[in-house]
Amino acid sequence: MTISWHSDPSRVDWDQLSEFYRIAPLGDKSAHELQLVFGNSRFTCFAHDGDRLVGAGRAVTDGLDFSYICDVAVHPRFQGQGLGKRIVRTLMEQSEGHKKIILYANPGKEAFYAKLGFKMMNTAMAIFRDDAAAMRAGFVREAPDHGTDSLRNLDAKHRRFVEERNWQRHQSPKNLVMALVGEAGELTEHFQWLSQEASKRLDAEKKQAVAKEMADVLIYLTRLAGELDIDLVAAAHEKCDENDRKYPKEEFQGEYRRPDQYKRRIFRILLPFEKFSLI
């Protein structure tokens, strides 16, 4: 296999490219549409195996601020051979000097672009001509109200609240921890004298009160993470992974105990046999 590379749209068979995108699969794109969008793109990259087009990609840029890489595709028979990586890197090299290079990946392909240096954007948003199809494909989702799915957005909102009132001097980690413990205590009061079953069946008024106390705990926890420059989500994922290793599911089914208790229990079970084997 000998792959030849070029960036000249005039050498492209657009009908062939249209069929190529259909089987890639990247949707139905007519030859006319592809000729128009590639012709209007500042940078392009094409790969051929003989006369057959096997890879393509393009970048739309403004010459300074951003370069948008899109329509990167490799023929199914040639995938896994590094063609896609080379197309993206070629477009990245052509885009060098722009303040940012952006793209949106097909769902499931994020790891491929991460290896090339791309990072997830926290606030990227889009309007598609066919929003319903884009949502079905996993490209977009409904925007949450007030950014409630982002701990960083929450911390930024509360930090503005603090700064507008000139309360920054009170926001030391020590003070935040003490406030956090206090709010956790207020949350505990709602459950203090409830039975196990009653704690699972809160009425609407009680649940709203509990939600407010939980919100206070979360606010102080995110503020503490912000003051200490700790990525709380990353730390939580790391802790979950640590717990998974610390408490193997095969050894801790249906009961909770400290790992050192488990080791002492095994020691007590094995000790008589060890003594017997030494005689």
How far apart, in whole angstroms, are the C-alpha atoms of residue 195 and residue 197? 5
- pLDDT surpasses 60 at 13: yes
The CATH class of the 3-103 domain is alpha beta
- Whole-Å CA distances, 183 to 108, 178, 215, 277: 40, 9, 9, 57
Q: Average the pLDDT over 49-54 and give the result.
A: 90
Domain boundaries defined on the chain: 3-103, 105-143, 147-246
Q: Which of 1-10, 46-55, 236-245, 254-263 has the lowest average pLDDT? A: 254-263
As given in the structure block, the two tokens for residue 35 are 């000729």
Q: Which CATH superfamily is domain 147-246 in?
A: MazG-like (1.10.287.1080)
pLDDT band for position 62 (cuts 50, 70, 90) = very high
Q: Average the pLDDT over 204-229 and give the result.
A: 92
Q: Average the pLDDT over 255-262 and give the result.
A: 64
In tens, the pLDDT along 129-160 reads 888 888 887 888 777 655 445 787 788 888 88
In tens, the pLDDT along 81-136 reads 999 999 999 999 999 999 999 998 877 788 889 899 999 887 888 999 888 888 88
Confidence (pLDDT) at 38: 94
In tens, the pLDDT along 218-255 reads 999 999 998 898 888 888 888 888 888 888 877 777 77
Confidence (pLDDT) at 145: 57
How far apart, in whole angstroms, are the C-alpha atoms of residue 90 and residue 43? 9
Confidence (pLDDT) at 109: 82
Q: Which of 147, 171, 169, 150 is nearest to 220 (CA)?
A: 171
- pLDDT surpasses 50 at 201: yes
As given in the structure block, the two tokens for residue 181 are 């413990």
Confidence (pLDDT) at 278: 38
